Amino acid sequence: MLSARSIKTWSWLHKWSSLVCTVFMLLLCLTGLPLIFHHEIGHLTGAEVEAPPMPAGTPQVRLDKVLEVARAQHPDRVVQFSSPDEESDDLWFVTMTPTPDPTDDFRSVVVDARTGAVLAQPRFNEGFMWVMLKLHVDLFAGLAGKLFLGLMGLLLLVAIVSGVVLYAPFMRKLEFGAVRRDRSPRVKWLDLHNLLGIVTLTWVFVVGATGMINTWADLLIKYWQHDQLTHLLEPYKGLSIVPVDERASVQKSFDAARARLPGARLAFAAYPGTAFSSPHHTTFFMKGGTPLTSRLVQPVLVDARTAEVTAAPAAPWYLTALLLSQPLHFGDYAGLPMKILWTLLDLATIVVLGSGLYLWFKRKAPQPLTQEADVTLAEAAQ
């Protein structure tokens, strides 16, 4: 049994870790709701681009043609990334920026891989869903915002653990899940807070932990580049970014990557000088075809000049953890039923967070809430 001193310490931890992170967790829960259904919202609003119907087996143009068509729309920009649509290889998304450096100033061009025609130029960096995404990911503050939200995620985990420790002693007089509707409003909210908190415990812990891991993505990728790629790129040390007119066929490079990992599909390609590649390589991030392996990618570095594979290093454990955390965080790996479940749990968590704030603002009542709830530190420690 916990001593009264231990109960007091855990109560202090739970109170202050909760208070510091609650407002930000509420923001993340609210912004996360539309993000769970971003594909469905895109279809409803017409933001999702669909390939026009054509006979099955219609041949595709070369990837070089796809990039040429996209570059013609924004000749003053460079191609950072390209990727096939998740559901169909008939669509290619090409992302272009003023320089190879990371930036929010990007343009996207959707090209029909069968005809080479431009189908759309969606603006993914504006509108309601983009605002929700930026608030959810980094509060419009870049890496600093991500790390701050990661700290809030850590405090959330502290609040969860301390809440679990306190749950049993403070509920020892009550049946599990009891909500005393005949008591004062703040006692009823305390009981509801405890009930929903313990019911959503596992989900909140998983989503909080995976969200915290996701905030480290930029740092983990930079560490991977330093730790895993430095020795592979030693022969290219001191060389500048390979100019576009000196690069080998992108299609030939892509074919080389697929030959290195037969049966794998392309997640996305990063071009020389960009954050996910090197100045001398086109890096193809390949993925598997099963629900699990489709979330795991393996980079294949192809020499941009010769179209020969330099290396295909396996992703280290920390990148694997990052990649697996993303579908767990958004609940987008098991279709609509999983998204509905994630939504219900998200809404329950909003009630938990909101009730916690309510209990804090009502703390100046005539008697302590523990006494009004028929619980004292001494009784809880017994």
Adjacency order of strands within the sheet including 78-84: 118-120, 107-112, 91-97, 78-84, 265-270, 281-287, 297-303, 309-311
C-beta of residue 196 within 8 angstroms of C-beta of residue 351: yes
* Whether CATH 3.10.450 fits 55-121: yes
Task: Compute the distance between CA of residue 83 and CA of residue 65 in angstroms, rounded to an integer.
Answer: 14
What is the pLDDT averaged over residues 91-111?
Answer: 92
Can you tell me whether residue 268 is helix, strand or coil?
strand
Task: Compute the distance between CA of residue 320 and CA of residue 306 in angstroms, rounded to an integer.
Answer: 30
Supply the pLDDT for residue 254. Answer: 97
Convert the pLDDT of each residue in 133-170 to its tens digit: 999 999 999 999 999 999 999 999 999 999 888 877 76
Convert the pLDDT of each residue in 42-98 to its tens digit: 878 767 788 888 888 889 999 999 999 999 999 999 999 999 988 778 999 999 999
Angle at which helices 201-215 and 317-330 pack, to 10 degrees? 130
- What token pair was written down for 224? 């991977």
What is the pLDDT averaged over residues 230-244?
Answer: 84
Task: Compute the distance between CA of residue 36 and CA of residue 373 in angstroms, rounded to an integer.
Answer: 37
Residue ranges of domains in the chain:
4-40+134-214+333-381, 55-121, 237-312
Supply the pLDDT for residue 117. Answer: 94
Task: Compute the distance between CA of residue 113 and CA of residue 168 in angstroms, rounded to an integer.
Answer: 60
pTM of the model: 0.83
Convert the pLDDT of each residue in 163-205 to its tens digit: 888 877 766 666 666 677 777 777 788 878 878 888 888 899 9
How much of the chain, in percent, has pLDDT values that exceed 90?
A: 46
Convert the pLDDT of each residue in 254-283 to its tens digit: 999 999 999 899 999 999 998 888 899 999
Confidence of residue 214 (pLDDT cuts 50, 70, 90): very high
Task: Compute the distance between CA of residue 192 and CA of residue 349 in angstroms, rounded to an integer.
Answer: 11
C-beta of residue 336 within 8 angstroms of C-beta of residue 344: no
